[in-house]
Amino acid sequence: MSEIIEQEIYDLLTDAFELEEGDEQISMLEAAVRLADGLRDLELQYEIRELLVRACVFGGATDKGLVTFSWCLAQFDQHPGQFSEWAILWKYKWIVGVICNFPQIPKPRIYQMLDDLADRSLRAGYGLRAVHMHRYRAERFWNNREQAIEYFHRMEAEPKDELSNCSVCELDDEVGFSIYRGHDERALELARPLLNGEEKCATVPHRTYANVLLPLLRLGRQHDALAYHRRGYELVAGNKSFLDKIADHLIFLTLTENFTRALEVFERHYPWMEKNHDAFYHFRFSRAAWLMFEILAEHADKSLAEPRLRLPRSFPPFVDEGRYHAVKLAAWFKLRAEELGRRFDRRNENSFFAQTLAETPALKALCAPFAIVESEW
């Protein structure tokens, strides 16, 4: 009996390996986990869950990734020496990398997690470069600017080791840091090898393309922005873990008045909101949709002010015939973004998210038509 189940597990894993990251891969690995749990074979249960953590984090199911990781960490601690220390620490990094996205997890708990990762890293003989990177990200998440900047510099001062990110990811982080500091031109200079395809890894330059869109618009470099939107959107369009980056593309399309394409992108990705629980992704996407519909609402063209959209029945303002009012949708997404923002602000004990929303309409100042002409491509 157990051979048959093992074979079934093996088949599921083989199929899962053949898939890009996403729900399908996650559901195959979940099925394999259930089978392994039935066998009560600890090694197997652990190994498959390791794969599942990866699939979840890189496939946009951050909450499932977190739960699965906590199981692995508990088993790791209860069975000293049985599982790879580096591998669990590496995954721990992924988890602290998304932990801020859960507004229901209080700040002290996040700090405690970062401290725990720091302890474990040191005990395993690694430095703190990776931990400082995540402390920087956390502080940046709640806009504790000075602390964030300090941690970034402390990260840079630490030597690289096996726990720190690959050089491509680190370059992307530097780009992000420069943008955070308001140094758009420097950021673009740094980003060059990423943007032109010379340096790449699993998630870079996917994120980079989205991150440089607003800086490019600020610098008046619409033409470059358009090219990076093209390539960047292709790279992120198939993976739910990039929903926040898709929000950036949506904003870009709105501000360059490529409304038809913006609506297509919206229509294609809205369903993702219903298929994952990540509140931060929801916030970012709702904010982008709000900005788009607000601009469309003021449009003289009726087909834009009252766009026809194909949305799932479960979309709360769903209408049967598919004809929507941009005004109403703007209001709905604004409310949604505010509600999510409040949850983050309550946890973060400040008003950064509310402030981000308050400043969003000001992005309209960057509005400048720059149409995508299909025939040029």
Partner 1 sequence: MEYRFQVNLGGIIDLLSNHTYSSPQVFIRELLQNGVDAIVARSYLDPEYRGEMHIELPAQFGEHPALVFRDNGIGLTEEEIHLFLATIGQTSKRDNDLLQRNGFIGQFGVGLLSCFVVSDEVLVNTRSAKGDAKTIEWCGRADGTYSLAVLDRQMEPGTEVRLLCKKSAEDYFLSETVTRLASHYGSLLPFPINLSDGEGTTVINEARPPWLEQFADAELEREHYLEYGRATFAIEFFDYIPLRSSIGDVAGVAFVLPFSPSLANRKTHRVYLKNMLLSEQTEGLLPDWAFFVKCVVNANDLRPTASRESFYEDAKLAATRIALGQQLRHYLIDLARESPHRLRQLIQLHYLSIKALAVDDEEFFRIFIKWLPFETNMGTMTLTEYIKDHDVIYYVQNLDQFRQTARIAASQSLCVINAAYTYDARLIERVNDVFPEVSIEAIDSNSLTHSFEYLTLDEQDEVAQFIAVANQVLLPFKCAVEIRTFAPAELPALYIAGGDAQFKRSIETTKEVTDTFWSAVLNDVESGLDPDSGAQLCFNYRNSVVYKITKIKDETLLRLSLQMLYVQAILLSHRPLNAREMALLNEGLLGFIEWGVDAFEGWIQ
| Helical residues (DSSP H) of 40-84, grouped into ranges | 42-59, 62-78
Sign of torsion over alpha carbons 146, 152, 155, 156: negative
Complex with partner 1: residue 279 or 295, whichever CB lies closer: 279
Least distance CB 70 / partner 1 (angstroms): 4
Least distance CB 358 / partner 1 (angstroms): 25
Complex with partner 1: residue 152 or 228, whichever CB lies closer: 228
Place of tokens 């400043």: 359
Complex with partner 1: residue 57 or 295, whichever CB lies closer: 57
Burial class of 197 by CB neighbour count within 10 A (0 to 12, 13 to 18, 19+): exposed
Least distance CB 132 / partner 1 (angstroms): 22
Complex with partner 1: residue 145 or 268, whichever CB lies closer: 268
CA distance linking residue 116 with residue 302, whole number of Å: 56
Least distance CB 309 / partner 1 (angstroms): 12
Q: Going by C-beta distance under 8 Å and a sequence separation of 6 or more, which residues neighbour residue 241? A: 21, 57, 58, 59, 60, 62
Four-CA torsion 275, 280, 282, 285, nearest 10 degrees: -130
Least distance CB 359 / partner 1 (angstroms): 27
Site residues for partner 1 per CB under 8 A: 17-20, 22-24, 27-28, 30-31, 34-35, 37-38, 63-64, 66-68, 70-71, 73-75, 77-78, 102-106, 109, 112-113, 116, 195-198, 227, 230-231, 234, 238, 268, 271, 275, 277, 279, 310, 312-313, 376-377
**Residue 143 DSSP one-character state:** T
Complex with partner 1: residue 152 or 353, whichever CB lies closer: 353
- Per DSSP (E only), the strands in 87-236 are none
Least distance CB 74 / partner 1 (angstroms): 4
Residue 214: closest CA among 192, 259, 247, 243:
247
Complex with partner 1: residue 71 or 90, whichever CB lies closer: 71
